[in-house]
Amino acid sequence: MSAALDLWKETHVARLSQYCAVRVSGRVSAVRGILLECKIPAAKVGDLCEVSKADGSMLLAEIVGFTQDCTLLSALGAPDGIQVGAPIRPLGIAHRIGVDDSLLGSVLDGFGRPLLGDCLGAFAGPDDRRDTLPVIADALPPTQRPRITRALPTGVRAIDSAILLGEGQRVGLFAGAGCGKTTLMAELARNMDCDVIVFGLIGERGRELREFLDHGLDETLRSRSVLVCATSDRSSMERARAAFTATAIAEAFRARGQKVLLLLDSLTRFARAQREIGIEHQRANNRLRQLLAAYKQVEMLLRLGEYQAGADPVTDCAVQLNDAINAFLRQDLREPVPLQETLDELLRLTSQLPE
For residue range 265-285, what is the model confidence (pLDDT) as tens digits? Answer: 878 788 888 877 776 665 434
Task: Note whether 149 and 124 are within 8 A (CB).
Answer: no
- Residues contacting residue 101 through CB under 8 Å, at least 6 positions apart: none
The model's pLDDT over 58-76, given as tens digits with 9 standing for 90+, comes to 888 898 888 878 888 888 8
The model's pLDDT over 41-51, given as tens digits with 9 standing for 90+, comes to 878 888 889 88
Taking all residues of the chain, what is their mean pLDDT, rounded to a whole number?
Answer: 75
Per-residue model confidence (pLDDT) at position 328? 47
Task: Note whether 317 and 324 are within 8 A (CB).
Answer: yes
**Per-position DSSP letters for 70-111, written without gaps between them:** -EEEEESS--TT--TT-EEEEEEEESEEE--GGGTT-EE-TT
Shared domain for 106 and 217, answered yes or no, is yes
State the pLDDT confidence band at 296, using cuts at 50, 70 and 90.
Answer: low
In a domain, 220, yes or no: yes
- Mean pLDDT check: name the lowest of 16-20, 44-48, 165-169, 213-217: 16-20
Residue range 127-140: average pLDDT? 80
Shared domain for 82 and 103, answered yes or no, is no
How many domains does one find in the chain?
Answer: 3
Shared domain for 48 and 191, answered yes or no, is no
Give percent of the chain above pLDDT 70: 71
Last residue of one domain, picked from the residues 265, 299, 324: 265
Per-residue model confidence (pLDDT) at position 198? 92
Shared domain for 297 and 256, answered yes or no, is no
In a domain, 18, yes or no: no
CA dist., res. 75 & res. 38, Å (int): 12
In a domain, 11, yes or no: no
pTM beyond 0.75: no
The model's pLDDT over 157-201, given as tens digits with 9 standing for 90+, comes to 888 888 888 888 888 887 776 677 778 888 888 888 888 999 998
Last residue of one domain, picked from the residues 265, 290, 320: 265
Per-residue model confidence (pLDDT) at position 18? 56
Shared domain for 108 and 253, answered yes or no, is yes
In a domain, 216, yes or no: yes
In a domain, 275, yes or no: no
DSSP reduced 3-state for 299: helix
The model's pLDDT over 79-127, given as tens digits with 9 standing for 90+, comes to 888 888 888 888 888 888 888 888 888 889 888 888 877 778 888 887 7
Q: Does the CA dihedral 262-184-242-105 come out positive or negative?
A: negative
Residue range 132-151: average pLDDT? 82
Last residue of one domain, picked from the residues 212, 240, 265: 265
Shared domain for 120 and 88, answered yes or no, is no
State the pLDDT confidence band at 28, using cuts at 50, 70 and 90.
Answer: confident
Per-residue model confidence (pLDDT) at position 317? 58
Shared domain for 89 and 202, answered yes or no, is no
Shared domain for 70 and 181, answered yes or no, is no
The model's pLDDT over 298-343, given as tens digits with 9 standing for 90+, comes to 555 544 334 455 555 655 555 555 444 444 444 444 444 444 444 5
Shared domain for 234 and 130, answered yes or no, is yes
Shared domain for 173 and 65, answered yes or no, is no
In a domain, 308, yes or no: yes
Highest mean pLDDT among 36-40, 324-328, 349-353: 36-40
The C-alpha torsion from 273 through 275 and 276 to 278, rounded to 10°, is 130
CATH code for position 43: 2.40.30.20
Shared domain for 233 and 298, answered yes or no, is no
Per-residue model confidence (pLDDT) at position 285? 46
Per-residue model confidence (pLDDT) at position 2? 65
- At residue 13, does pLDDT exceed 70? no
In a domain, 274, yes or no: no
Per-residue model confidence (pLDDT) at position 245? 92
Per-residue model confidence (pLDDT) at position 228? 92
Range of the structural domain that residue 312 is part of = 281-351
* Helices marked H in the chain: 2-18, 157-160, 181-191, 206-211, 219-222, 236-255, 267-280, 287-301, 313-320, 322-330
- At residue 133, does pLDDT exceed 70? yes
Shared domain for 195 and 314, answered yes or no, is no
CA dist., res. 163 & res. 68, Å (int): 56
In a domain, 128, yes or no: yes
CA dist., res. 265 & res. 274, Å (int): 15
CA dist., res. 45 & res. 147, Å (int): 35
State the pLDDT confidence band at 222, using cuts at 50, 70 and 90.
Answer: confident
Q: Can the peptide bond before residue 266 be classed as cis, meaning omega within 30 degrees of 0?
A: yes
- At residue 54, does pLDDT exceed 50? yes
- At residue 3, does pLDDT exceed 70? no
CATH code for position 184: 3.40.50.12240
